[in-house]
Amino acid sequence: MIFVKRIYEWIEVRLGVKELVEKNLTGYLLPRNINFWYSMGSIILFIFAVQVVTGMLLLIYYVPDADKAYSSVTAIMNRVPFGWLIRTCHAIGSSMMVLFLLLHMLSVMFMGSYKRPRELNWLSGFILFSLVQVICLTGYLLPWSQLSFWATTVATNSIGAIPLVGQFIVEFLRGGKLVGPPTLGRFFTLHVAVIPVLIASVVGVHLFLLERIGVSKPPFGLDNTKNRWQGDAFRYDEHTGGIPFFPNYILQDMTSIAIYFSLFAAVVFFCPGIFFPNDAFIQANPFQTPAHIKPEWYFLANYQTLKLFPNEFIGLSIQGAAMTFLALLPFIDWGNEKHPLKRPLFMVCAIGGILLYIGLSIWGHYS
């Protein structure tokens, strides 16, 4: 014990650990009425870490070559010890990441946490959400199954509806006129090198903003639910008399992660095939389009929107407009009120939007 104490003292005089711990953990105060929804970010960070680790493990056996990719994934699933577990965790983890990002965004929306001065937190979060969708899309092609191949064909094809430059972008993305071996190389590089670095960087920015501006106060259980930002100068959003992040809120974070992990493990062990339709078990054949090819669940609403409009460009424009509206939400919703029940217009729009998204997804699934 004396030896450990000496090492601690050696580090302490060099780095001032005590001060760091007090500033960032025990002295980092959060609002007393903080709730479970504030731990969504920690759950997403945990999922991202699991995705990085399982992704690295998959790289050991995966071969990014159109002739060998499918057989290498089959070998991971059937021959490599616990390969099925690593791959299933990675595949299901990607869906979980999108799901929990949506929940995180919804909780931020309903609690009005995106309101000034936290516009940049929302924007960086929105960029993260978009990057996660891109990393999911690029990863989807890598197993080189019929599902991967044709879902990528459909997804990349829709970009071709953009006037003038659409076809050029599609060919540039694919590395040719059609999805083929050059597409695999491009998507592989994006999936394992480019986008993870971008995501890690934007996560850094997101956390920096959280630390710099301070945690927002939830509007529940308060008499005054108005935004208390004054807008004249920068002020750290202090919560005097609040609860410390460590050990109090970290316990909530750990509890939420444990609950998430139970849900995740239940899917991995009891419904591992939930995200794998039959076409995921057939090698890609560029000359045979399977019937009823569908994208992943989180792209079903986009897929159905494209199908609803006879002109693909209109469908794409509507989606672009919806995404832009969502990205710029803090600049559009200027009101000071944060409590969702005191924001009727917001509630109507938000619930309508959620129902529309779910409805389009279900319609897309059964269409």
Partner 1 sequence: MDQSTRRKFLATCLGAIAAAGGGATLYPVYKYLAPGKGDEGLAKTTFPESEVPAGGAKFFSFRGEAGVVIRNKSGKLVAFSAVCTHLGCIVQWEKEKQDFLCPCHAGRYSMDGVVIAGPPPRPLPKLAVKVANGIITIG
Residues in contact with partner 1 by the rule CB under 8 A: 57, 60, 80-83, 85-86
Q: Which is nearer to partner 1, 247 or 335 (CB)?
A: 247
End-to-end CA distance of the chain: 66
Query: 């760091």: which residue's tokens?
Result: 20
- What tokens does 297 get? 């669940």
Q: Which is nearer to partner 1, 83 or 196 (CB)?
A: 83
By C-beta, is 81 or 231 nearer to partner 1? Answer: 81
Taking the complex as a whole, how short is the minimal distance between the CB of residue 79 and partner 1, in angstroms?
8
Query: In 3D, which of 354, 355, 367 has the Cα closest to residue 308?
Result: 367
By DSSP bridging, strand 243-244 and strand 29-30 are antiparallel
Rounded Cα distance between 356 and 70, Å, is 36
Nearer to partner 1, 143 or 364 (CB): 143
Radius of gyration of the chain (CA): 23
Q: What is the DSSP letter of 81?
A: T
CB of 256 to partner 1, least distance (A): 16
- Min dist. Cβ of residue 135 to partner 1 (A): 22
* C-alpha to C-alpha distances, 21 to 12, 27, 28, 280, nearest whole angstrom: 11, 8, 9, 48
**Which CB, 101 or 268, lies closer to partner 1?**
268
* Residue number, 85 or 362, with CB nearest to partner 1: 85
Minimum Å gap between C-beta 76 and partner 1 is 9
CB of 199 to partner 1, least distance (A): 23
Output the DSSP codes for 168-210.
HHHHHHHTSSSSSHHHHHHHHHIIIIIHHHHHHHHHHHHHHHH
Residue 85 beta carbon to partner 1: minimum distance, rounded to whole angstroms? 5
- Secondary structure E strands in the chain: 29-30, 243-244
Cβ distance to partner 1 smaller for residue 80 or 99? 80
Of residues 76 and 147, the one with the C-beta less far from partner 1: 76
On the 0-12 / 13-18 / 19+ scale of CB atoms within 10 A, 63 is middle
How many angstroms separate the CA atoms of 192 and 304, rounded? Answer: 29
Q: What DSSP state is assigned to residue 306?
A: H
Minimum gap (Å) between residue 261 Cβ and partner 1? 9
> Two tokens at 71?
């057989």
Q: Whole-number minimum distance, CB 177 to partner 1, in Å?
A: 39
Nearer to partner 1, 86 or 199 (CB): 86
Q: CB of 4: closest distance to partner 1 in angstroms?
A: 18
Nearest of 362, 358, 355, 350 to residue 106 by alpha carbon: 350
Q: Is 144 helix (H, G, I), strand (E, B) or coil?
A: coil
* Closest alpha carbon to 276 in 132, 47, 87, 98: 87
